[in-house]
Chains A and B, each alone.
Chain A
């Protein structure tokens, strides 16, 4: 455990160094990668470990984002408390959702969460205190002055996002490696046998939903921070789909993979942009090439390495052994 902690601290330090040496766009993208990494880990925990398919993690993120913004704006609390509330409120939300979800399986759960992803952000349009379409501001403020004049807002976002990502990945990885992670995998594999081994499958599934939602809520607050607002438009169905895609590309059950998945999610639009420009910069090409690349990657990986590229590697090792 000590070793792992040291590894995470080292990783954080390296990221800080990188953050100092690249331009602002990359720093901003770094913050986005961190945000996606958190969001993807919530799917890894829920789907990859406890075997519950959710297409609605975008909605859970929305809960976290709104909780954070409302806390910060209405209570005038310190920023860190807004993040804590994001985690707490979305965990609560996840517990409720999980209680309903524990009774559902497979397609029912997928569809229910899909409906949630479509419906939930729209609630913001109904209630004035949620700010409607323009949303609510979520302003974590400027970096402390002692960090210097050169220290930009985006670098500040990057620091916060990276710190939260490392923290949440550390905690998530601990949980997944503990008996909880093992139990979830057991339930996913054979829930009857797990129950006979004394596992409360229903309770454990709800717990998975709760934790996953808490993590997603944190990601939602980080997303809100990077764009300084929460709005229905920030938590769309497209976001939920992107997360599922990222999780599959990362290998649904691989926690280290989430960083890779997050990187891909941020990199694909970049790559598409370069390609689109090279192929003539047609407007439609610009708009739809990223989607095309993502879909093709998704389909290929589901067909050829459904459990992620990591899994393929692993099984190859096993065959050798």
Chain B
């Protein structure tokens, strides 16, 4: 029973980090119709910047703020200087389908190399902002720690903030409108290109948080966020790729499922576990758990 509970709680904490990455992916997908594989790279670079600040000032939260800012700037920059150019050039021919995917892969590689050149490949670790000592319930101490709790709370706050932005502000309205009907949004006077860049910026900032939180309980290296990207993507697909709420639910499901696999089945099945969850969802509910009968043909 206790193992069940701790697995669930840790899964929740893991899943909430996936949720951030998957939201970032969904935001970009909705605005640009691109699955941004470079999101892992952007998050990584932001996290390295946050890491530098957090290590030098010894204030984790300052590092987190800087990572958010860096992530947002980076996201906006990628859209403004990269995606716009890309869409101007790569529009037709056999590669048109693959061009955006491959471009973001290239960008991921580029950021990774740059980070590697600057910081090297060594594992870095950030001093966690909360104790990693597990909570004690009665006699026993469980691996679920204040840090895990803090991660869940932080993600929760960010999700609420995003919900407010999207539901209650003009910016949110523009973002939603541009995502669902760009032409109409344009006619309504929304500057869709700018709105899109803002969407990228928000995604970048959220990715930065994901990177920092992931690093607080783990190591940081030029490759350390790759899995986060893969799991974030799977979570987004579980949620239907369009829905932010769906992607959060998908991420939590995935996080808990994978932690159960980890605790009850075996460590090496975690990776393939993600794939299996993805395939099962695609077969059973091909449009994601939040689908309302839309066909999944691009």
Contacts and interface: CB of A to CB of B under 8 A. Distances in A.
In the complex they form, whether A and B have CB atoms below 8 Å apart is answered with yes
A122 B268 contact: yes
B150 interface: no
Interface string B220-261: 001000110010011001000100000000000000000000
A252 interface: yes
Interface SS majority for chain A: helix
B261 to A, nearest CB: 11
Contact of A108 (B108, B227, B241): B241
B114 A115 contact: no
B274 A53 contact: no
Contacts, number: 179
Given A115-B233, A122-B268, A122-B272, A107 B102 contact: no
Contacts of A188: 94, 97
A306 B37 CA distance: 18
B134 interface: no
Contacts of A105: 296-298
A15 interface: no
Contacts of B272: 119-120, 122-123, 126
A114 B271 contact: no
Q: How large is the interface on A (under 10, 10 to 19, 20 to 34, 35 or more residues)?
A: 35 or more
A248 interface: yes
A248 B95 contact: yes
Given A51-B97, A295-B109, A118 B121 contact: no
Interface stretch (A149-157, A158-166, A258-266, A296-304): A296-304
Interface string B81-117: 0000110011001111111011101111110111011
Interface of B: 29, 34-35, 37, 85-86, 89-90, 93-99, 101-103, 105-110, 112-114, 116-118, 120-121, 222, 226-227, 230, 233-234, 237, 241, 266-276, 278-279, 282-283, 286, 296-298
5 contacts: A53-B97, A103-B296, A115-B275, A284-B118, A302-B99
